Amino acid sequence: MIEVLIAILVSVIGLFSAMKLQLTAVSNTHSAYFRSQAALITNALVDQMRANPTAAVAGKYDITLTGSVPGSGGMEVADLGQWRADLVATLPSATGSIACVAATRVCNLVVQWDDSRGLSGDGAQQFTMNIRLP
């Protein structure tokens, strides 16, 4: 009788372990999906910045994580507005920043979103990309 109870206990512990493993896998997959979407959306903006390098190097694409898109301007305003709209539509509580250095023609793009459902449970996750403009 004791052997049967121990066998049941070992089986239950094994099933709970398998369930936890599956839950962790699903959580990691969701976090990876968010990271790939951040990369995809940011690459689209990089293409737009490369099409308009003069404005990018002049700092017209620069924006902080908490800053808002300018209300008027050239093509860069439309690009920034579309980028921010795509981030919000795809990632939870997403925002982005851009900082370009004219002397080196290097721009740093950061996307931040809420990934509290991820494995680590950290609220804010960031994707960073550095580019050199032509």
**DSSP result, 47-89:** HHHHHSHHHHHTTTT-B-SS----SS-SHHHHHHHHHHHHHHH
Does any domain span residue 26? no
Q: Which domain holds residue 103?
A: 33-132
> Six-digit token pair at 87?
């981030």
Can you give the pLDDT at residue 121?
61
Does any domain span residue 28? no
Can you give the pLDDT at residue 1?
83
Can you give the pLDDT at residue 123?
78
Does any domain span residue 99? yes
Can you give the pLDDT at residue 70?
87
Does any domain span residue 38? yes
Can you give the pLDDT at residue 122?
67
Mean pLDDT by 10 residues, the chain (134 residues): 88 89 79 92 96 93 92 90 96 95 96 80 85 93
pLDDT digits (tens, 9 = 90+) for 81-93: 999 999 999 999 9
How far is the CA of 46 from the CAs of 62, 76, 89, 110, in angstroms?
Answer: 13, 12, 19, 12
CA distance 107 to 94: 20
Supply the pTM of this predicted model.
0.80
Does any domain span residue 19? no
How many folded domains does the chain comprise?
Answer: 1
Does any domain span residue 24? no
Does any domain span residue 23? no
Does any domain span residue 25? no
Radius of gyration of the chain (CA): 22
Can you give the pLDDT at residue 120?
61
